[in-house]
């Protein structure tokens, strides 16, 4: 579904990504792990066209999307849940969700035929139904995370990119976010997840990549990472 080869990216003169290579196949949850500031979020932004890669390639379902503007990438079927959430605070929850609807380029479409509608998002997030007429800026942090996830799903993505969905949330809300991501995946949507919490990542993912200083330093199954104490201590643990 998603293939990233030797990706490089810069912020001005700062070289952030150094040849990142990774894949996401149909039916997978893949997690990108690493400490703060190693380039995880920049990787997702480069895939979405929010940061223009300086070298390398990004292919989605075999189509080269390297450097396309973000709106075109989204319409092709990549969904992005940003770490900053970026809701529209002055309009209602329902209006935020409707803003997520995107026309699709080309044939496209979900392979399992289950489209995300307002009612379906509300079924996943009953709290949003309760607050549909409330201004989004008055929601709690956990509710805002639900809203930005639901808004992205309204675009009917074929692959979901999720950046640090549990950061700053209470443990009870973290469990809820984990359950929602598992249900979204079970429903047929592959996920590339950026996460700093090792326990969350190992509980959700099928495969993991570990990043350090803009490079992939480990790739393998969750079991292989659990068995590799050296990688965990050097690149993940405090």
For the segment 157-178, what is each residue's pLDDT rounded down to a tens digit? 999 999 988 887 788 888 888 8
Question: 2-235 is classed in which CATH architecture?
Answer: 3-Layer(aba) Sandwich (3.40)
pLDDT at 111: 43
Give the separation between CA 55 and CA 163, rounded to whole angstroms: 23
Please, where are the H alpha helices in the chain?
40-48, 70-76, 93-98, 118-124, 126-130, 141-153, 171-186, 198-204, 222-227, 229-235
> Both tokens of residue 146?
């639900």
pLDDT at 184: 87
Mean pLDDT is highest, among 33-47, 160-174, 186-200, for: 33-47
Count CB-CB contacts under 10 A for residue 23: 16
Report, as an integer, the average pLDDT of 84-96: 93
Q: How far is residue 23's CA from residue 13's CA, in Å, rounded to a whole number?
A: 27
Q: What is the pLDDT of residues 213-238, one digit of tens each?
A: 999 999 999 999 999 999 999 999 86
Domain ranges within the chain, ordered by starting residue:
2-235
For the chain, what is the mean pLDDT? 90
């Amino acid at each position: 579904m998603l293939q990233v080869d030797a990706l490089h990216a810069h912020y001005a003169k700062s070289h952030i990504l150094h040849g990142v290579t990774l894949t996401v196949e149909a039916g997978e949850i893949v997690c990108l792990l690493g400490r703060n500031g190693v380039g995880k979020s920049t990787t997702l932004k480069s895939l979405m066209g929010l940061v223009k890669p300086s070298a390398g390639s990004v292919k989605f379902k075999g189509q080269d999307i390297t450097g396309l503007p973000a709106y075109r990438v989204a319409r092709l079927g990549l969904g992005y849940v940003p770490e900053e959430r970026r809701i529209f605070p002055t309009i209602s929850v329902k209006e935020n969700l409707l803003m997520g609807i995107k026309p699709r380029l080309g044939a496209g479409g979900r392979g399992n035929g289950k489209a995300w509608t307002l009612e379906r998002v509300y079924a996943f997030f009953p709290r949003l139904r309760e607050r549909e007429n409330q201004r989004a800026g008055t929601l709690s942090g956990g509710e805002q995370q639900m809203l930005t996830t639901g808004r992205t799903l309204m675009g009917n993505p074929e692959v979901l990119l999720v950046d640090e969905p549990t950061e700053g949330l209470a443990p009870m809300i973290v469990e809820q976010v984990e359950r929602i991501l598992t249900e979204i995946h079970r429903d047929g949507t592959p996920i590339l997840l950026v996460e700093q919490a090792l326990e969350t990542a190992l509980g959700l993912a099928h495969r993991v990549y570990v990043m350090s200083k803009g490079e992939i330093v480990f790739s393998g199954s969750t079991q292989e990472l659990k068995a590799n104490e050296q990688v965990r201590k050097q690149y993940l643990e405090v």
